[in-house]
Structure 1
C-alpha cells in the first residue's frame, strides 16, 4: 500500500480517493490537467521580486524582508517547504530585526500556483508567527484558494515521490 506521507491530517474518505487515483495511474494526469503551466522564476533575484510584489500588495506596512532565496538544503518532510526566519541583533543601542524567507528549491519546477501558495504562507508568518486562525485568514486574504492549493500541493508532492520511487 502507498504511504500518503503528506496527507496525514486529512479524512480517510479523501485519502481513499487519492489512493484510487494512484492505483489507477491517474494522479499525474489529474495534476497536469489542473496545473498545466510552469513559471519562469528560476533564481533568487526573480524570487525576491515576486515575493516583494506580493508583500507590497498585501502586507505593505509589515516588517521589511532582508532576504528571499531558493534553498536546496530544505528537506521537504523534515523541515517543511519553506522557512521564515526572524533574527534580532543589537547594534549599539538599537535592536535590528531581519526577516528572511527560504523556499525549497523543488519549487523551481512546481506549478506557479504552488510557488505562490508557499510564498503567501511564508509572508503570512511576518505578521502571524503561529499557525492559528488569524494566520490562515491572512493566507486566504492573499490567496483565496489557499486551502485547496495546500491540498493539491500535497498531492503533487505525493505524485513526485511516486515518480521518483521514494514511496
Structure 2
C-alpha cells in the first residue's frame, strides 16, 4: 500500500481502492484541484478565532467559552491528528478556572475553506461531546451537513499535499 494512503486507513476497502487508483494513475492532484479551486483566506490566528466563534455562536451558544483557537505546526507530526481540543482546569485559590482551546494543524492554513470548517466543527463538537460516538457525529452533522464527505476530503487533502511535495 502506498504510504500516503495511511490517511484513509479504516475507510471501507472500496473507498481506499478508488483513492489508490487515483494516486497510481496520477489523477488525484487534478481531481482535487478541480473539486476545490481555491484555499481559504483565514491566515491569522485572530481570523481563525473569529471564524470559529461565528460557528460556535450559531450552533453552540450555551457551551463553555473558548479561550484560544490557533494553528499548530506540531499537531500533525506528533499526534497524527488534524486538530485538537484541549480542556484545561486550573485552581486559583478557591476558584476553578477552565479553558477550552482548539488547535488546528498548520497544514490546513492553506486548505480549502470547507475542509477548515469541517475541522473547526469537529473540535467544537468536542466541547459538548468528548467521545467519537453517535451523539458526537450527530452534532458534527448538525453544524456541517456534509461533515462525513468533508472528513474524507480532508484526508485526501493530506494525500494531495504529499503528492504535490514530491
TM-score by length of 1: 0.94
| 1:77 shift after superposition | 7.0
In the other structure, the counterpart of 2:114 is 113
Contact in 2 for aligned 1:6/1:157 (Cα 8 Å): yes
SS at match of 1:9: coil
Within 2, Cα distance between the matches of 1:113 and 1:39? 8
User: What are the Cα deviations for residues 3-29 of structure 1, in whole angstroms up to 9, with x where unaligned?
Assistant: 311111012121111111112111011
Deviates more, 1:88-97 or 1:124-133: 88-97
In the other structure, the counterpart of 2:62 is 61
1:91 aligns with 2:112: no
Q: How does 1:154-165 map to 2 (within 5 A)?
A: 154-165=155-166
Within 1, Cα distance between the matches of 2:56 and 2:134? 20
In the other structure, the counterpart of 2:45 is 44
Contact in 2 for aligned 1:117/1:149 (Cα 8 Å): yes
Q: Which runs of 5+ in 2 are unaligned?
A: none
In the other structure, the counterpart of 2:142 is 141
In the other structure, the counterpart of 2:126 is 125
In the other structure, the counterpart of 1:13 is 14
Q: Which runs of 5+ in 1 are unaligned?
A: none
Contact in 1 for aligned 2:85/2:103 (Cα 8 Å): yes
Q: State how many pairs are aligned.
A: 165
